Amino acid sequence: MKNTIKQVFHSPKFVGGFVIFVAILLTMIIYPLFNPGNPLQQVSVGTFARPGTYVSLYDATKATSNTLRLPDADEKRVAASLSAEDRVAMVEYFTTMGIDISELDTEDTDALLQMWDDNYDPSVRPKGMTSAKVNYYKRLNTSLQDLKSGDTLVIAEEVDGELVESKKITTTDYVRTGAVANVKTLPLGTDNFGRDVLKELVSATGTSILIGLIAGVVATLIGLTFGLLAGYVGGFLDDFIMFITNIFTVIPGFVLLILITYSIGQEQRGAAVVATVIGLTGWTWTARSVRSQVISLRNRDHVNLSKLSGHSLIRIILTDILPYIASYVVMAFILQVSSGILAEAQLSMLGLGPQTTKVPTLGLMMNWAMLYSAHTNGSWWAYFPVILVITLISFSLNLMNTGLDQVFNPTLRD
Partner 1 sequence: MKGYRKYFGKKIFWFVLTFIAAVILNFILPRLMPADPVASITGKLAGGNTDAQAVAQIYERYQEEFGTNLPMHQQFFKFVKNAIHGNFGLSFSQYPRSVSDIISSAIGWTIALQLPAILVGWLLGNLLGALAAYIRKGFDKVLLPVSLFLSNVPAFGMAVVLLVVFGVYLKVAPTAGGYAFDMIPHLSWDFIKSVISHYQLPFWSIVLVSIGGQAVGMRSMSIYELNADYVKYSRFLGIKDRKIVGYVFRNAMLPQVTGLALSIGTMVGGALVAEIIFSYPGLGSTMYSAVTSADYPLISATTLIITVMVLIVTFLLDIIYGFIDPRVKAAQFE
Give the shortest CB-111-to-partner 1 separation in angstroms: 28
For partner 1, the binding residue among 399, 400, 404, 407 (CB under 8 A) is 399
Q: Are 337 and 397 in contact (CB under 8 A)?
A: yes
CA angle centred on 251, ends 328 and 257, rounded to 5°:
85
Report DSSP letters for 223-239, one per residue: HHHHHHHHHHH-HHHHH
Q: Which CB, 174 or 395, lies closer to partner 1?
A: 395
Residue with Cβ nearer partner 1 (174 or 285): 285
Distances (CA, A) of 397 to 21, 273, 340: 7, 23, 12
User: Does 380 interact with partner 1 (rule: CB under 8 A)?
Assistant: yes
Q: Are 346 and 278 in contact (CB under 8 A)?
A: no
Tell me which of 102, 299, 309, 357 binds partner 1, using CB under 8 A: 299
CA distance 147 to 139: 12
Tell which residue, 170, 169, 168, has the closest CA to residue 149: 170
Q: H helices then E strands: how many in the chain?
A: 17, 6
x/- binding map, residues 316-335, to partner 1, per CB under 8 A? --------------------
Q: Does 110 bind partner 1 (CB under 8 A)?
A: no
Using the rule CB under 8 A, which residue among 95, 108, 262, 266 binds partner 1? 262
Site string for partner 1, 231-260 (x = CB under 8 A): ---x----x--xx--xx-xxxx-xxx-xx-
Please, what is the end-to-end C-alpha distance for the chain in angstroms?
23
Residues 401, 329: Cα–Cα separation, whole Å: 11
Give the residue among 237, 177, 223 at the shortest CA–CA distance from 54. Answer: 177
Is 385:188 a contact under the CB 8 Å cutoff? yes
Q: How far is the CB of 394 from partner 1 (least distance, A)?
A: 4
Contact between 350 and partner 1 per CB under 8 A? yes
Exactly one of 28, 183, 217, 349 binds partner 1 (CB under 8 A); that residue is 349
Site membership for partner 1, residue 19 (CB under 8 A)? no
Task: Closer to partner 1 by CB, 186 or 335: give it.
Answer: 335
Min separation Cβ 190 and partner 1, Å: 19
User: Residue 318 Cβ, how far from partner 1 at the closest point, in Å?
Assistant: 22
Residue 190 touches partner 1, criterion: CB under 8 A: no
Beta-strand ranges (E) seen in 69-199 are 153-159, 162-169, 173-174, 183-186
**Contact positions toward partner 1, by CB under 8 A?**
234, 239, 242-243, 246-247, 249-252, 254-256, 258-259, 262-263, 292, 295-296, 298-299, 338, 342, 345-346, 349-351, 366, 370, 375-376, 378, 380, 383-384, 387, 390-391, 394-395, 398-399, 402, 405, 409, 411-412, 414
